[in-house]
Structure 1
């Protein structure tokens, strides 16, 4: 069979004429038109920072400056300090004075705290009673710097001639010179009417001392009452059996004791302590002449008034005195007995103390005292605020009463103490 030889044709001949033309026209440049530009080329370089970039930049700037402001506003620091501590087994007798000489322990008084409570009890008939009005007066000594003793039953007279008397001997402190001015010495004491009856139930009044008439002291000693005199009565009241009265009085004493003690501690400064055996309460039955009208036919009321005064010690002064007398080679640095409230206090001359005019006391203090040495916190904070961060431990070392200390910051990236002192917390860590 003869070979069949087919003629080869070009692509141009195979493709349809119109398709080939379209293909060549679309993809091949001609001499009459410029080549097309690539669509992904930015021919305007000045527009490369678009709106999105600018918004992002502004947000970052706000966040940076806002973060700085927030850090300054909310920043706080905590300084944790472990002070030098120690234990001391204590059983020692101490002396203290109302006006202590230099080097001796001083005490103060909380006094003039009064309260009244009453209780309804069964009544059986009536009885005639005669009671004297009484109340508190403040006696002033503007004569000189010498204290003045006033004997029991010393008279005090109102402008209209009513006489009231003190029951016990007292001592009125002498005047003092303060800022160039003489300030009278003073003492508060209860006085009783010379006679029974409601006529002596008077309001606040001025008093003189008749016994000083004709003496220069007459014009320099005087007294005032602020709450007036009450309790004076003569007449019939409902009768209460002695057993019922005694039971009621015991109950009223417990109620008054709790209230008076709570009020005394409220009035005491925060850095003072009132021990359980360092206070006195006097109780007095109060007669109300209207009980017969207010009570039912078969009931009466027993009323009791309590008057409180107590001996206060400055915690720092007492702690220092204990250390001074009981620690060998005491270094003299300030310290506190942390568990002072748990120490056993006993007043030795209790029976000799007859009222708030007490000048000197003796007492024992017993227990396992937990001593905590003190340091000046404000001085420490000031020095830390002025020091670079790498010098903090060197600052702590300047305070010998500090055993260990550390500093923490919030936010964590903050490394400086806040300018606001209220945002700096000092945490004292002590062992139990």
Structure 2
């Protein structure tokens, strides 16, 4: 029996040839891309906080030199400050309204007025001056006056007062006027509580902070340092006492230290940490701070502090590129950022469509963005 003969189709062989050629071209393209691939890596070093601190003794320039001693001057004084806050709640009780009045004398003779001299408002409210004064002829005198009776009825708007104790013919020539209301006919009293004392303590802290700031403004030279130390505290209104305000006084010691800031900077330079494997760059420094630890017979022991930032200078020489070859960019970035002193790793690949770093280490370049030191 005769079998049918099979013949190869020219079209089939043509497709095979085209496919093989395309595969060869693609393989060649991949090989070319891999051989021509490049990776540029930029490393950003880590910046860390830096604190330089040293304890020094400030002594007069005439004193003999000693270890960790620097020349300067130390001046101390004590001040008393007070914090007070109104007491909330409580009860209103009558009090005597008061205020300032101006006694005017249009007569041609000086007029003496003793304390408790009466002043009468047009509404019939009676006040008495608190001090003895003499009003010059053709002149005027300021004096405090208080209502004769307590309560709101003793208050008065700005007005003109007659002086009933003078002769009738002098009352038009010598009189008093008030430019502001006479107030204070009531006051609030309440028993002081622990909460009131704490509020007064907070107010005292605010007053002392304002006083320190004012001193710094008045001594802006960079060779002057102000130390403000609270020595004691005295509660002026004990818990349970009836008062309008809770009050606390504090005694403070103000110490002014004057030293050459360049000497301080030189002393602090000695405290810059060093590392054998790399260099340290100081990238920022805040102003020097100085606090007084204790006073001595002729000076003070002080703590000198300067804060800032520092960066460990990196070198690309110490990084093993072979650990990075053929890795995905994300993996390579993790490897690089695991180095203790590296903050960030920026990777740029060429061609951009390749997700992997070159397989050849010499196709990888590493640069470091080390900052400039101060």
| TM-score normalized with structure 1 length | 0.27
Q: Whose helix fraction is larger, Structure 1's or Structure 2's?
A: 1
